[in-house]
Structure 1
Amino acid sequence: MIKVTAIETGKARMKTAQRAGREGRGAIGRKIDIFRDPDWVDPLPILCFLIEHPEGRFLVDTGDTWRNSEPGYLPGWNPFYRQVSIRVAPQEEIGPRLRDMGLDPARDLAAVVLTHFHHDHTGGLDHFPHNRIVGPRENYAVSTGIKGMTMGCLPQRWPIWLKPELVAMDGPPIGPFAGSFPLTSDGRIALAPTPGHVTGHCSVIARDDDVTYFIAGDATYSQDNLRAERTDGVSNDLAAARATLRAIKAFAAERPTVVLPAHDPDSARRLAEKEVFA
């Protein structure tokens, strides 16, 4: 009834201190650690996920853009952008990727769903001027203007036509998650609140008959981090981030669940093999 496909849209590199913050360090200390860290992790995928449901196809996140390579695209006044490296070829953007799959982005998607508004999740929005675009209201509120620019968002690079459908998690609870926003009439695809990485971050839950897919965005950078309850180095609210990890684990303990973070190099394999979290 439901099919999920991982779509890689280039690679990202980050400091080891970003992928997993040092225990005992607060939010500010962890960011200092990122700047001081000389070590980089191996290139990580920038993943989007296509969900196929009887009511249509839903794309979760849009990846990043090749324009990161253009001088001046990233704001030079924000030193954080020198702590990450995004490499996307033009043909690796989400639009060409979908066309390679035989899909027309304008006609063949019921909606584009954003887990949050960081640049590596919204960089492909230019490909969807004719689509319904859904995103979490709470995260959008902290992603615009100067505040958003200091927190990993590029609102000045969003398409001028962008007016997303901003939603609140005021729908029925799902497992340990107190609210949700159903995307389909049967409730099998829904947004659930997973704050911590940023305020208002959401994940997408897709429930098939035999397995549930938990498309985690950046709620965790890897399944290993989730299992160990290691929060990342950019989270401003460490308590919320850790509570989110525990909620995801509790959710997966209740039903067979494939956990799919956006930057986990093992996500695509686990998805193909339907390897559930245990």
Structure 2
Amino acid sequence: MIRVTAIETGKARMKSAQKTGRDGRGALGRKIDIFRDRSWVEPLPILSFLIEHPEGRFLVDTGDTWRNSVPGYLPRWNPFFTKEVSIRVAPLEEIGPRLQAMNIDPARDIAAVILTHCHHDHTGGLDHFPHTRIIAPRENYEDSRGLKGMMMGCLPQRWPIWFKPELVDLDGPPIGPFAESHAITKDRRILLVPTPGHAKGHVSVIVRGEDVTYFLAGDATYTEENLRAEKADGVTNDPALSVATLKAIKRFASSEPTIVLPAHDPEGPARLATRRVFAAEAA
């Protein structure tokens, strides 16, 4: 039996121009639009997803940390961190306490943590998993290190000193419209597929349940609404690639009963609870 549970780890506020980039704007233009935009969207959840599988419990992304609010935690030289996004996480909202409230010891009871990408609101909870196998896409991890990573929304200087993830390449066979994949479990019911655009080397996690498939999209799209409209976000450095990824996700989710679960979609937990699949919502 496979089960997927959404776990909220605080809230994120962003500009409207970040959530939905303007059509016809390139990568640089979208960044300018974010800084010029005075419109903020309502706070969005920061979601991690717990997968219960016969081979163990797997966690997709770790959310952010309350330390995000501590002066000096975010680099002042990058105004995007300090002025264009607002992260609010209470200490008990971090992924560790959330799991403990479910009677799960984050340090011992998780078979592996899977990172869709290394942006700070997906890696902020890494400190809770010092004894856990951590899996990251090689291409994204390499792109997230050093000054380049800090420019692109990552905080590698805040990663735990012991953080040395198991880096994986997408070296497996095609899955539907995705040209390659990587199996996490021996039964191939948990798989990684490439969904680049929001970040270089970004991956999503496919979980094949008994009668429905879960598509854990990370930040490939912020919401299912944007996915349906094929609207790329304002963060992408390659809008055309982002749109191609959205089209691939739509083709996959239309080909079999699939619940699409982005990491910041406020409607995602309700879709999961009621098992509303993508094709049914289109109808």
TM-score bin (small chain): over 0.9
Aligned positions of 1:51-70 closer than 5 A: 51-70=51-70
CA RMSD of aligned residues (A): 0.5
Tell me, in whole angstroms, the C-alpha distance in 2 between the residues paired with 1:126 and 1:172.
Answer: 33
Matches within 5 A, 1:175-186: 175-186=176-187
Question: Which position in structure 2 is the counterpart of 1:24?
Answer: 24
Distance 1:267 1:48 in 2: 11
Give the distance between the partners of 2:122 and 2:40, measured in 1 at CA: 21
> Which residue of the partner structure matches residue 250 of structure 2?
249
Q: Corresponding residue for 1:193? A: 194
Q: Which amino acid aligns with 1:178?
A: A
1:129 matched to which residue of 2?
Answer: 130
Give, in whole Å, the separation in 1 of the partners of 2:239 and 2:193. Answer: 19
Corresponding residue of 2:219: 218
Structure 1 position 159, deviation (Å): 0.2
Q: Which moved more, 1:9-18 or 1:171-180?
A: 171-180
Q: Partner of 1:115 in structure 2?
A: 116
Cα shift at 1:238: 1.1
Letter in 1 for 2:225: D
1:130-209 residue pairs with structure 2 within 5 A?
130-209=131-210
Q: Percent identity?
A: 74
> 1:105-143 CA distances to partner (integer Å, 9 max, x unpaired)?
122111000000000000000000000000000001110
* Separation in structure 1 between the aligned mates of residue 231 and residue 99 of structure 2, nearest angstrom: 33
Tell me how far apart the structure 1 counterparts of residues 20 and 250 of structure 2 sit (CA, whole Å).
18
What is the TM-score when the length of structure 2 is the normalising length?
0.98
Q: Which residue of 2 aligns with 1:7?
A: 7
SS at match of 2:144: coil
Give how far 1:212 is off: 0.2
Secondary structure, counterpart of 1:112 in structure 2: strand
C-alpha deviation, 1:12, in angstroms? 0.1
How much has 1:253 moved relative to structure 2? 1.2
Q: Size of the alignment, in residue pairs? A: 278
Cα deviation, residue 209, structure 1: 1.9
Following TM superposition, by how much is the alpha carbon of 1:173 offset from its aligned partner in structure 2, in angstroms? 1.3
TM-score norm. by structure 1 comes to 0.99
Runs of 4+ in 1 over 3 A off after TM superposition: none
